[in-house]
């Protein structure tokens, strides 16, 4: 779908600079672009570093003004939000395939007592257990297992081999990626006469509207009530959310984050990769946890925490920078000890001489 930069510019609602008759046939990253591609840059520095020779560039007005341009430069489309415009261009060149209505495959297993909404696709090899309710327009991919009495809203997508244990509740427009497991038993035992007795987990999991769950991520069911993933919250791959956690809305956690039991969070919490949060901790609204942070207790609203155990960013940076000075401090300490010894000797000497002179 070759398109002139002029046409693209109109599509994106931008302002053209340079030759609008140049034609483009795809988007690309700055590193791999050829003259057939349009790219976007987020800063003057990135713009100047442009390695490939793209056919056109999307950028914002500030970047454009900050960079001088030659006649020979690639044409530019100036917009308010280059990333948003670039995504729009990407979808122009790579239009998503329209959703196919394949319906319920004869190779899927659907329990007769399940209720399936309109326009659902249930692919070969998917398993829908007894008493399950699906809303409208759901896509249940091959190998997915939805156990008894789960309730899914409208337009839910469950990718291959994901598993929902019995009784899990899923809102509208939720996306669950491949091999994610929702609703396995919480990890709870009582040590009775030297053996672990399993604590029954009669609770469930609630995924609210617009939640997205990454591949291989596990969200355990509560002991009594529900483990809740709040509206719009996004979990990356291989995240672990233990029993009874209550996550707020619009949280975003990167891969391999682990929450122990009964953690609560506010809204707009962000976790970088491999963060660990101890049981019963509370993470305040708008706070950010740095990569690999180890959290206990309470993180106040709006704070950024780093470290193991974690503390406020400023303290942690100061602590960390100071710790790097310890080898230097150690040699200073040695030197100081030697100086003090010398001073002691000198004073003793002075005292001796004084005594000597007094004695004289």
Point out the residues that are catalytic. Answer: 243
Q: Quick one: which of 25, 65, 101, 347 contacts a copy of itself (CB under 8 A)?
A: 347
Task: Indicate whether 45 belongs to the interface with a copy of itself (CB under 8 A).
Answer: no
**1 versus 358: smaller Cβ distance to a copy of itself:** 358
From candidates 103, 314, 336, 356, binder to a copy of itself by CB under 8 A? 336
Q: Which of residues 270-289 bind a copy of itself (CB under 8 A)?
A: 272-274, 276, 278
Give dist(CA 180, CA 185) in Å, integer: 14
The minimum distance between CB 214 and a copy of itself, in angstroms, equals 7
Nearer to a copy of itself, 17 or 182 (CB): 182
CA dihedral 44, 49, 51, 52 (to 10 degrees): 10
The nearer residue to a copy of itself, 17 or 153, going by C-beta atoms, is 153
Which of the ranges 3-11, 41-49, 58-66, 185-193 carries the binding residues for a copy of itself, by CB under 8 A? 185-193
- 285-314 residues near a copy of itself, rule: CB under 8 A: 291-292, 294, 308-309
CA distance 224 to 202: 5
Task: Select 21 or 357, whichever has its Cβ closest to a copy of itself.
Answer: 357
Residues binding a copy of itself: what is the number (CB under 8 A)? 104
Distance separating alpha carbons of residues 133 and 131, to the nearest angstrom:
6
Spatial separation of the C-alpha atoms in residues 219 and 357, rounded to whole Å: 86
Residue 198 within binding range of a copy of itself, rule CB under 8 A: yes
Q: Is 42 in the site for a copy of itself (CB under 8 A)?
A: no
Residues 217-276 binding a copy of itself (CB under 8 A) are 218, 220, 224-225, 232, 234, 236-238, 240, 242, 244, 250, 252, 254-256, 258, 260, 272-274, 276
The answer to whether residue 165 forms part of the interface with a copy of itself (CB under 8 A) is: yes
Q: How far apart (Å, rounded) are the C-alpha atoms in residues 309 and 307?
A: 5
Asked whether position 50 contacts a copy of itself by CB under 8 A, the answer is no
Shortest distance, position 70 Cβ to a copy of itself, whole Å: 27
| Residue 330 binds a copy of itself (CB under 8 A) | yes
């Amino acid at each position: 779908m070759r398109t002139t930069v002029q046409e693209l510019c109109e599509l994106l609602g931008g302002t053209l600079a340079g030759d609008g008759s140049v034609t483009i046939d795809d988007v690309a990253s700055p590193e791999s672009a050829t003259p057939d591609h349009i790219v976007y840059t987020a800063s003057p520095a990135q713009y100047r570093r442009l390695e490939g020779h793209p056919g056109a560039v999307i950028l914002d007005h500030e970047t454009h003004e900050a960079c001088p341009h030659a006649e020979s430069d690639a044409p530019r489309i100036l917009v308010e939000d280059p990333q948003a415009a670039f995504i729009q261009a990407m979808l122009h060149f790579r239009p998503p395939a329209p959703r196919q209505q394949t319906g319920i495959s004869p190779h899927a297993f659907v329990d007769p007592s399940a209720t399936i909404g309109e326009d659902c696709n249930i692919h070969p090899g998917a398993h829908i257990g007894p008493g399950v309710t699906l809303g409208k327009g759901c896509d249940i991919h091959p190998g997915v297992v939805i156990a008894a009495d789960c309730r899914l809203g409208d337009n839910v997508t469950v990718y291959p081999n994901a598993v929902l244990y019995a009784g899990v509740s899923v809102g509208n427009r939720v996306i669950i990626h491949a091999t994610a497991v929702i609703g396995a038993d919480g990890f709870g035992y009582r040590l009775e006469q030297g053996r672990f007795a399993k604590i029954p987990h009669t609770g469930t999991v609630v995924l609210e509207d617009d939640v997205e769950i990454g591949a291989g991520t596990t969200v355990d069911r509560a002991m009594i009530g529900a483990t809740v993933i709040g509206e719009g919250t996004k979990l990356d791959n291989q995240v672990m959310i233990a029993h009874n956690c209550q996550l707020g809305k619009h949280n975003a956690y990167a891969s391999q984050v682990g929450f122990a039991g009964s953690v609560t969070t506010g809204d707009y919490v962000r976790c970088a990769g491999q963060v660990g949060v101890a049981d019963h901790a509370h993470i305040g609204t708008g706070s950010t946890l740095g990569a690999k942070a180890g959290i206990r207790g309470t993180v106040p609203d709006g704070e950024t925490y780093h470290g193991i155990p974690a503390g406020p960013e400023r303290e942690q940076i100061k602590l960390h920078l100071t710790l790097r000075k310890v080898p230097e401090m150690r040699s200073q300490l040695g030197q100081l000890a030697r100086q003090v010894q010398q001073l002691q000797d000198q004073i003793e000497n002075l005292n001796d001489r004084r005594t000597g002179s007094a004695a004289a």
